[in-house]
Every structure is written in structure tokens, then in C-alpha cells.
Amino acid sequence: MDIDTIGDWERTNDCGSLRRDDIGREVVLMGWVNRRRDLGKLIFVDLRDRFGLTQIVFDEEFDEVSHERAGILRNEWVIAVKGEVAPRLLGQENPEMPTGDIEVKAKELKILNETEIPPFQVDGKIDASENVRLRYRYLELRRPALFHNLFMRHRIALVIRSFLNSEGFLEVETPFLTKSTPEGARDYLVPSRINKGSFYALPQSPQLFKQLLMVAGFNRYFQIVKCFRDEDLRVDRQPEFTQVDLELSFVNEDGVMDVVEGMMVDVFSKILDHPVSRPFPRIEYEKAMDLYGSDRPDARFGMELTDVSDQLRSSTFRAFTEVIEKGGVVKAINVKKGASFSRKELDELSSMVTDSGAKGLLWAKLRPDGWQSPLAKSVAPNSRGAVEERLGAKEGDLIIFVSAMDHIANEALGLLRIEISKRLDLIKDGDYSFVWVTRFPLLDYDENEKRYAAVHHPFTAPLEEDIPLLGERPEAVRARSYDLVLNGEEIGGGSVRIHTIDLQNQIFRILGLGKEEVREKFGFFLEALRYGAPPHGGIALGFDRLVAIMVGAKSLRDVIAFPKTQRASCAVTDAPSPVDRDQLSELGLSLIYP
């Protein structure tokens, strides 16, 4: 059939705005057929656009022509309707819909576009695999839940921009085609046609450019910016991602944290109407690993890790005593009211521990008549009492022990406390817990490369009191760095930067970078440091991850309009894809297949 055009029709309202006050008005609505119900002389159509739904009634007695044409409508057809707003019949109102008190009695209908049968239903339950939904992402984006996530993303960005503007920040765009200066992950390289054999890199971060803006005297910079990393993907990773990038001059750690805390308070208040108290708790890296077994501590519940080596040193259980003698530890967590855990559940938890490198776990259920535990005969009553006192354990609790070297015990119990919190439903929707983790190690020794590597990046300043250790004990130097953690997820990382050329060159030498390599990769930056770089610091906040937490999304893909798949491809456009020989020749490239 012929497709109607809009002609001289002009849309008067969206599909979510009509109310009782509009009864009697003649309106023109346009949108997609969400659902059609044919009752013979009456045909009901729920018309949908991004703003909502409005029920349209095609009454054979009211307008026979429109009623006849409505009989061929199918879900997802695009139509325009002219009609009169009327009250719904008493008892047929829909309090779940903002427009549920009214309907539009159709006088005229224009079919603007038909559709093929969609590969999955847009309205209702999800009935297709994620691969199919990603391929037809433009259809899935019609789903209200997914649209809501993108709308919330828009609102959060507006609040952030408004807040930073009020705090004296300037939004400055930095280049996407830049120099390859690897910062821990692989760069995406872009060949240059004009300079054959040379390559740009897509930025993993605007790190050096934002520091150059501080040298330029911009004082406070921000950018909501796309960044790119060619790395293996997980649920919480995408090859292209968005971050809120900040840099400030003449500040210390407190100055950066203060701005970020104010921004989070503003965002959560205006978007979720959720009060966030400040200052946020701070915990040094070593303490975070000791108490939570993670540098991303989830502080919404207790169950902290506790060293009970001293209390169990006199036990006859060899798995404990031998580890302690070798310099290891026995650490434990107390699971409140966890004595109801079954043996099967404990075996499942034990398998998680072995995956972390520990040999297993041991447990003790605190019963009215004492410990129900494989350890009962190996731990004297006074030692049991000392363990219970150390952990604050009471009858009905479950104590879980892991004996290993300190870092292994921390990792194993850190994973266990998160898993147990899920099983016991300790975390409630709407709980938000911010924590600053500070003073990370500045450097880490890479056994494969046989050299030191920067834990964050090579422009992070060391603590002033630790600078003397750079010469003899680089691994003991702590950084002026800070990560912002929300609900056990790192949503941002930053540091005070090195702003003097001598210290920056010293760090490069410790990292094993020769003079020629430094000149090639960072010569432009070192030159800038010669021209009066102010003390400065900043942070990059993962915008995708922040939005995902705020909307309750399980994957970053649920808050990105057109995300990449697990294989870093675009399911809609089938990118990356081959290019023809002429394009390669123009770039001076040829392909070699292994």
C-alpha cells in the first residue's frame, strides 16, 4: 500500500503529556504502534514515543474510515493520528500510566511507515539473545528501560557540567589523534596518510594534555571525554569509554577530593534525591588490603578481615602452625548468624578460596554447646575464646579461616566476604557507600620485564617523605594517589602530579627508560615542565560506571547507546571490517597474515 506523508499535519503533543485538563482538545500525535487490540467495532492502539504512551480509540461509529484503516496496523508501524481528547470510561482508567485517565478518539489516521516483523518484541519480556539485540540495537533502544538509562546518563552529564562550571572549571577539548605513549594498555593506532609509516594513537586518557593546560595557566579544566584502550573485555570494560576528566592547579590531595565530593553530593541529590554525607571516609591502600582484601572495598557491610595468628599460634593444627612459622598468617571473617550455612554451601565457598591460591578454608559454627568445627579438637577452649573475642563472634555466628601468605589470605577472604554478602542479602538497593583509597604504592616490580612499572602512571608524584627511598627502596615508596570507590567499584582514580623536571626524569630512570626513549615519547612534555609548571593534581572518573551504578544496570552495555561486544566489535555496523587495497596503498600499508 502507499505510505502516507505527514503533509500539513503538525504534531501538537507528545505521547506522554495529555491529561484530564486536555479533555475536549483536538490533538495530533505521532509515534510507533506499541500494541493493538481489535474488539470489532472498537480498535485500541497504544501509541508510543520517547515521552510515553497514549491510548488511541478507533470507533467505527465515530469515524468509519479511520477504523477500517486501523484494522491493518501492526506493532512498530509509524503513524500519525488526529483526534479529540476524551475521558476514559469509569473503571477503565489506568493509574499506572501518566496518561491513564484519558484517551484520544481518532478522527483521521495517517500511516507514515510500515515495518517488517521485528527480530524480537520491543514491548514486553526480552525474547532474544544479547547478540541479536546488539545487532538491532536501534530497536532495543525503543525499550523504555534502556531509554531510561540513556536519559539518566544525559541528566547526570548536565548536572556534572553545571556543577563544575559553578566551581570555576573550563571545559576544554583535547586531541583524539595524538602520540602513542602507552600507559598500561595497548593503544589503538591510526595510520597517517600524509606521513606514511607514522601513526597517531587514540588517547587512553587526556593525561598529558590536561597537565599542559595547567602549565598554560588554565587553573581548572574538565572534559567529559571519550577514551580508548585496546584490551580484553569484561562486563565492566569497553574499548571506548567515557570519563569525567579533571585537573586543578595549586592543589594538594584534599583540594581534588573536596571538589569531587561536592560533585557527587550534587549529582546524587539532584538525580536520585539521595543525600550523600561528606567528607567521604578515607583508608590507605595497605589498610584496605588488610581489612577488606581489596583496594576497592565495599563498606556497605562489615565482615572485615581479622588476623587471628596470635590467638591460634598454640593450636595443634599443623595447617595453621606451619603457615605461621613460615611468615604467613591465619585470617578470619565472622559471618553474623551464618551458622545455618550448609556443608554444601561451605564446600562451594572453599572452592572459591582455592581459585585464589589458598589451599582451602576452615570453619567453626558457634553452637550453644561450643564449636561445631573440624578444628574443635585442635584448638584449646581458651584459644577459641580468644578468637571469638577478637572477632566479636557470638552464638549462631560462623567463623571462616584461611591460612596462607598475607596477600593470598587477603585476596581469598576478600572474595568470600563479597560472595557471602550476596548470599545473605546484606546489600540493599539504594545503599551507596563512597570510600577514598589513598597512598597506593608508587611502583611495582615486574618479574617478567625485570624492571619497575608505575602502578598508576609515571606522572604520579611520590609522597614527599618517601622521596629519599627512591634510590634504594623504590618498591617502598608511596604515591600521592587516590581512588574513589563506590559500592565496591572503582569509579575514579587520580593523583597529585610531578611538576618538576628533575623528579620526573628520576622516575623515568627508575622505570628503566633510556634518554632516547624518554625524548621520543615524552620530550614535548618535559620541555613544557621547563616553563613554570604549577603544582597540580587531578582525577578521571569512569562516567559509564557511575551511570551504571546509579541506574542499577548490571553491565556497562546497558548505559551506552551503541556498545561493543565481547570481541570489541560493533554488532550494528560490523566494525572492524576489512578495507580495500587502494585504501591500504594510500596509507603505505600492506597486510601480513600469520
Same domain, 153 and 267: yes
Reported as a single tens digit per residue, the pLDDT across 336-393 is: 999 999 999 999 999 888 888 888 899 999 999 999 999 988 999 999 999 999 999 9
Residue 172 lies in a domain: yes
Contacts of 188 (CB under 8 A, 6+ apart): 201, 202, 228, 229, 230, 239
Using the 3D structure, point to which of 423, 451, 471 is the last residue of a domain.
423
Whole-number pLDDT of residue 412: 95
Same domain, 256 and 214: yes
Reported as a single tens digit per residue, the pLDDT across 382-434 is: 999 999 999 999 999 999 999 999 999 999 999 999 999 999 999 887 889 99
The range of the structural domain enclosing residue 67 comes to 20-113
- Sort strands 282-284 and 434-438 into parallel, antiparallel or unpaired: parallel
Residue 364 CB-density burial (10 A; 0-12 exposed, 13-18 middle, 19+ buried) = buried
Residue where the block lists cell 625485570: 450
- HEC states along 1-15? CCCCCCCCCCCCCCC
Reported as a single tens digit per residue, the pLDDT across 152-161 is: 999 999 999 9
User: What gap in Å lies between CA 98 and CA 55, rounded to an integer?
Assistant: 11
Same domain, 308 and 415: yes
Burial 262-279 (b: 16+ CB within 10 A, else e): ebbbbbbeebeeeebeee
Same domain, 27 and 67: yes
The two most distant CA atoms of the chain are separated, in Å, by 93
338: CATH: 3.30.1360.30
Residue 136 lies in a domain: no
Averaged confidence pLDDT in the chain: 94
Residue 43 lies in a domain: yes
User: Are the CB atoms for 263 and 160 separated by under 8 Å?
Assistant: yes
Same domain, 226 and 314: no
Residue 132 lies in a domain: no
108: CATH: 2.40.50.140
Whole-number pLDDT of residue 235: 63
Q: What percent of the chain has pLDDT over 90?
A: 88
Please, what sign has the CA dihedral across residues 210, 483, 295, 454?
positive
Whole-number pLDDT of residue 231: 82
Residue 571 lies in a domain: no
Residue 288 lies in a domain: no
Please work out, in degrees rounded to the nearest 5, the angle formed at the alpha carbon of residue 147 by the alpha carbons of 144 and 151: 130
479: CATH: 3.30.930.10
Phi, psi at residue 33, to the nearest 5°? -75, 110
Continuous segment of H or E residues that includes residue 583: helix 581-586
Residue 12 lies in a domain: no
User: What gap in Å lies between CA 296 and CA 493, rounded to an integer?
Assistant: 11
- Sort strands 481-486 and 434-438 into parallel, antiparallel or unpaired: antiparallel
Same domain, 183 and 279: yes
Reported as a single tens digit per residue, the pLDDT across 460-476 is: 999 999 999 999 999 99
Same domain, 418 and 321: yes
Whole-number pLDDT of residue 1: 46
Domain count, the chain: 3
Whole-number pLDDT of residue 184: 65
Contacts of 552 (CB under 8 A, 6+ apart): 429
Residue 122 lies in a domain: no
Query: Is the confidence at residue 133, as pLDDT, over 80?
Result: yes
Neighbours of 583 (CB within 10 A): 12
DSSP helix/strand/coil, 37: strand
Query: Is the confidence at residue 183, as pLDDT, over 70?
Result: no
- Give the type of residue at 429: D
Reported as a single tens digit per residue, the pLDDT across 431-445 is: 899 999 999 999 999
